Amino acid sequence: MNGPGAPSTGVAAPAYRTEDGMRRSDGRAHPDPRAAATVGDRVITVAEVDRRLRLMRSGPLAARLPRPETAEGRNLRRWLVQVMVAESLAEQEAARLGLPAGHSAPPRPQVALTPAVALRTGGVAAAVLVTSPAARAVCRALAAGREPSEDEVRDYYRRNLDRFATPETRWVRPFGRVRRGQIAGPIEDAVFAAREGETVGPVEGPGGPWTLVVERIETARREPYAAVRERIRAELAKESGERAFARWLDARHADSVVLTPGHEHPADPAQPDADHRH
């Protein structure tokens, strides 16, 4: 999760703040002091944020969360508001487009929120794509027609040959599966000089001397382009859709969202706990 203090959250800090508080884009003051944010016609209340935060703090990752009274704890709350805002934007867009955003949506395998995904799309966008069926439905709609070309797929394969290569692997008793670099010195030299079925040693090494049996050898190989073409195409299409979703989220946030004091984006330099910048 790309929480407080991380390099990016995927939603730009809003430009509505003035000295007398948060205002709508048309200049009117925010009407409801109980609101944490307004997303179009939808008000996200402070009570909703409190409830969601209590769920986080009673969950399995509670011990990893910053204490509420710290700057990091206050920024966690701000970051949570950004996630709730993004969820609401996605739900509104899915409803507007008539997209299947609930149980009728195509199933999605459980996916970990990795640093690579968070850096590609921004932490808020990446988190919402993992947790929100509506966000995934909007992402699929935005991805439509963004299939990579054959040249793009083939170029990716050429630039990432290491992804599709498996180095020589030897099954060695008593070590098990061994590849170069996993053992060192005379032991590695002896193991990789031996033929399949050969016994080598005694060989000096840590805890040795060692007598080793090379039981099986699997030669280095590379998956051919034809075997991985569709996998690459699907990955590139997915990444393109996620980037499109992040851009859409930024634009819709700028048009439709009002954040109240205390619930600003963690990167907003005007908020007192700001600890990173875009």
Q: Which residues contact 123 (CB under 8 A, 6 or more apart)?
A: 1, 2, 3, 6, 8, 9, 10, 79
Range of the domain at 196: 168-219
- Residue 8 forms part of a structural domain: no
For residues 222 and 165, the answer to whether their CB atoms sit within 8 Å is: yes
For residue 273, how many other CB atoms are within 10 A of its CB? 17
The candidate with the shortest Cα–Cα distance to 94, out of 245, 255, 251, is: 245
Looking at the structure, do residues 21 and 132 belong to the same domain, yes or no? yes
Which pLDDT band holds residue 263 (cuts at 50, 70, 90)?
confident
Kindly report, residue by residue over 147-168, the tens digit of the pLDDT.
899 999 999 999 999 999 999 9
- Residue 105 forms part of a structural domain: yes
Looking at the structure, do residues 244 and 214 belong to the same domain, yes or no? no
Looking at the structure, do residues 199 and 237 belong to the same domain, yes or no? no
Kindly report, residue by residue over 67-99, the tens digit of the pLDDT.
988 888 888 888 899 999 999 999 999 999 998
Handedness of CA 75, 79, 82, 88 (dihedral sign): negative
Handedness of CA 258, 261, 263, 269 (dihedral sign): positive
Q: What is the pLDDT of residue 273?
A: 76
- Residue 125 forms part of a structural domain: yes
Displacement of CA 55 from its chain's centroid (Å): 21
What is d(CA 109, CA 112) in angstroms, rounded to the nearest whole number? 10
> Which pTM value belongs to this model?
0.69
Q: What is the pLDDT of residue 46?
A: 92
- Residue 9 forms part of a structural domain: no
Looking at the structure, do residues 100 and 174 belong to the same domain, yes or no? no
Q: Which residues contact 204 (CB under 8 A, 6 or more apart)?
A: 186, 210
Helices (H) and strands (E) in the chain, counts: 8, 11
Looking at the structure, do residues 127 and 172 belong to the same domain, yes or no? no
Half-sphere exposure of 81 (CA within 13 A, CB side): 31
Handedness of CA 215, 172, 216, 211 (dihedral sign): negative
Looking at the structure, do residues 64 and 100 belong to the same domain, yes or no? yes
For residue 234, pLDDT beyond 80: yes
Q: Number of folded domains in the chain?
A: 2
Whole-Å CA distances, 207 to 139, 153, 203: 55, 48, 11
> Within the chain, where are the H helices?
46-57, 71-97, 115-121, 123-131, 133-143, 150-159, 185-193, 225-256
Burial letters for 15-26: b for 16+ Cβ neighbours within 10 Å, e otherwise? ebbeeeebeeee
Looking at the structure, do residues 174 and 108 belong to the same domain, yes or no? no
Q: What is the pLDDT of residue 277?
A: 52
What is d(CA 122, CA 143) in angstroms, rounded to the nearest whole number? 17
For residue 111, pLDDT beyond 60: no
What is d(CA 49, CA 43) in angstroms, rounded to the nearest whole number? 11
The predicted model gives 226-242 an average pLDDT of: 94
Looking at the structure, do residues 64 and 176 belong to the same domain, yes or no? no
For residues 22 and 30, the answer to whether their CB atoms sit within 8 Å is: yes
| Mean pLDDT, the chain, integer | 81
Looking at the structure, do residues 135 and 42 belong to the same domain, yes or no? yes
What is d(CA 97, CA 142) in angstroms, rounded to the nearest whole number? 11
Kindly report, residue by residue over 13-50, the tens digit of the pLDDT.
443 332 233 444 444 445 567 899 999 989 999 999 99
Give the sheet arrangement for strand 169-173, strand by strand.
176-178, 169-173, 210-218, 199-203
Which of 215 and 120 is assigned the larger pLDDT?
215
Looking at the structure, do residues 215 and 237 belong to the same domain, yes or no? no
- Residue 157 forms part of a structural domain: no
